[in-house]
Structure formats: structure tokens, C-alpha cells
Amino acid sequence: MNMTDPSVPEGNRDFSRALSERLFTVLPSVITEERETLHKATGNTPIGEPPASVSVTPQEIIRSYANRNITLGMEATNDFFNAKTWPHSSLAEVALITANHIRMLYHIGKTYGKEETVLELEFLTTILFRAIDGSDSDGFLRIEGNRTVFHRPDEANQGTFLSLYSEKVARNLGKARIVQFLPEVAQIALAAWGMFSSDEIGRRGIEFLSREAVISSGGNRPTGQTEKTGSGSFETEGRCNVEKVKLLVNLLKDDHVPEDRKAALVEPFLRELRLDEVEAHRLQKKVPDTKLFKVDLLVFQQQPARKIDLMVDLVGLAFFDQKINPNRTIFVKNTGRDLGFSTDELERLLDDGVQTIAFKKRLFSFGAT
């Protein structure tokens, strides 16, 4: 079955294929490692049976992995300074962050007493994709009242959702335009992606894993926003892009950034996001105004991937002058909260970003490519 998303640019398809190949190699061992680790940590409970007690909550698990993924992003290689290699330069870290997503889902399942026969890789990768895709049901995975119904893919469709996830991530990171314009914030952007995607995947994971799991064989109709023209349409993307530009401009207006600097920072987004010409002109004319744009965040609520790339760009832009101040910190936190993200780890993300920028300034001159 050809499930390639035609909206993914060719360069990002290369990244998608490379990520998919790496995940197919790495992820099977992740489940085995987590089973053995949990087996030892819970008094050698027989593998295959739920542990007698689990001392952490699902929310604590999500926070733990969000913090791990912040660290992975911040410690990424200095190749990120070359914007031309983005997102390809992030391949190793994205694979590690994805492995952490699977670990997180596995442990969330364990807090709800799920058995090993339920927490198989195909089930978890399907949840992983659904969380990023934002769709509610398909021929494989759906919620029916208090039950989560999963049809294992037939032989022809095994691995489909891992490939679809890789395509979504390729588009998601490719849309993080801030890395192209300010490559010095690439590590911060990747850390933000790791954090916000952990939050989104964790919350959807709770929805699926807190219910009774009913698993059977024979699913053969993968669908979702990747294939649909409804909520994943160009019209929806256009609306999201307009609201994104408004929000990014508001960050700069709220902080009283000088007009020439503000225009220079906004112009690449107006160009690269391919807004309607009339809309782009209207927004550009209002950039010098001190009055904030009214932003409709509801367009992002059923668009988790776009919601994540919005926050990645927002966090990255907050560091446009290699520092961050209280105005920007408050603005970013309030936006994250309004979009439904947990802000518990956001303060750490911003603090670590300051340290990362300071370290880079000691090694490199900003603006280098």
C-alpha cells in the first residue's frame, strides 16, 4: 500500500524515509529493554504480568520524558548551525526522542495495569501516530465508550503507522521555519519539539491506555488526516499559517521590539509560509501597529502537529536576540497554556535555552552557517 503523503516536500521525504528505517531498527529493542527494566524495578514480577504496584502517575511519567527530551534537544550536535541541513541534522536525536515516546506510552500503559500482550510495538506506534495526526478513529484504532479497540494490521500493513508517523514528523520539523531564519536556536527548537510532542502524545496515550483494551487481528484500512482533505486541507493550513504569523508578531509587539528589527524577523515567515497575497499584505501593513492582533487559537485544537510546530517557532523566536526576558517568557507560557500544553517543563526549557545560547556564544559567532 502506498501511503506516501504528497504534501511532504521531497527533501523532507528523504528525512522521513531515513527516520522510518532507523525507527524500524531501534524500536523493537526498546520494548524489550523496558520490560526487563520494569521487571527488575518491581521486585522481579514475572515478565508478562502487571507489577504489583506502580509508584508513579501517568502525568509524572509524561513530565519525566518531556524533561528527558528537552535534554536530548539541547545536547544535539553543533551541525544544527547549518540551516541547510535541517531537519536532516536532527535525525539521531529525533529517533531517540521517538524511542522515549514509546517508552513513555509503555509505562503509561503499565500504570493502568496493561499486560505485555497488550503493550506490543504495533499498538503503541499506532497510538503514537494518532496523537500526532489528531484523528479520532480508523480501521485500526478507535475508542468505543470505555474500550479502546485495536485491530492488528495484516501483513501488508505492518509498520504502516510508523511510516506515517515519520512523514508527520518530517512535515512538522520542516515547518519549524525558525531554524532556517535563526539557525543558532535550532537546539532550542528541537528541545521544544521534544517537550511539546511528549505532552501531546502522553495525553492522547492516557485516553487510549486508560480504557479496557480489546485487540483483534485484521485491520486493513489506515486513515487519518494524512490522507483526508478535511481538517488536513490547504484551507486549514492557510488559516493556521495566518494565525501563526499573528501570534509571532504579537510576541514582538508585546516586547516592544524596534520596528526595523520586528519587520526583519516577520518578513521571512510572511514569505515562506506562502500566505494569500492579500492576507500577507494586510498583516505586513499592521506589523508596525502597537495594538496586538486578535488570534484564533481554536484552529489549532484539532491539529496537534501544527500546534507543536507553532510552539517550536514561538519558543525559537523568543530567543531572536540570544536572550529572553520576562515579557517573552510570560507570553510563551500563556500561549502554551491556552493551547492546552502543560507549562510545568516550559520554564526549564526556557532556562536551558539561555544556557545553550550562552555556551554557543563562547564557541561561535552568531549568524554563522
Residue by residue, DSSP assigns 54-104 as --S-HHHHHHHHHHHHHHHHHT--GGGG-GGGTTGGGHHHHHHHHHHHHHH
Report yes or no on 224 lying in a domain: no
Pair 241, 173 in one domain = no
235/299 Cα distance (integer angstroms): 11
The pLDDT of residue 206 is: 97
- Is residue 253 within 8 A of residue 292, CB to CB? The reply is yes
- CA distances (Å), 92 to each of 98, 122, 268, 277, in order? 10, 22, 28, 38
Query: Does pTM top 0.75 for this prediction?
Result: yes
Task: Tell me, yes or no, whether 2 lies in a domain.
Answer: no
Q: Within a domain: residue 115? A: yes
Mean predicted lDDT score pLDDT of the chain: 82
Query: Does residue 230 have a pLDDT over 60?
Result: no
Note down the domain range covering 56. 10-219
- The strand pair at 212-219 and 147-153 is best described as parallel
pLDDT at 11 over 90: no
Residue 3 lies in a domain: no
Q: CA–CA separation, 166 vs 94, rounded Å?
A: 10
What are 88-136's pLDDT values in tens digits? 888 999 999 999 999 999 999 999 999 888 899 999 999 999 999 887 6
Same domain, yes or no, for 297 and 266?
yes
CA distances from 60 to 66, 101, 111 (A): 10, 14, 11
Last residue of a domain, one of 170, 186, 219: 219
Statement to judge: residues 188 and 332 lie in one domain: no
- Indicate the Cα dihedral angle 334, 347, 71, 108, nearest 10°: -70
Lowest mean pLDDT among 154-168, 183-197, 305-319: 154-168
d(CA 186, CA 183) in angstroms, rounded, equals 5
Task: State the total domains in the chain.
Answer: 2
Tell me which of 188, 219, 250 is where a domain ends: 219
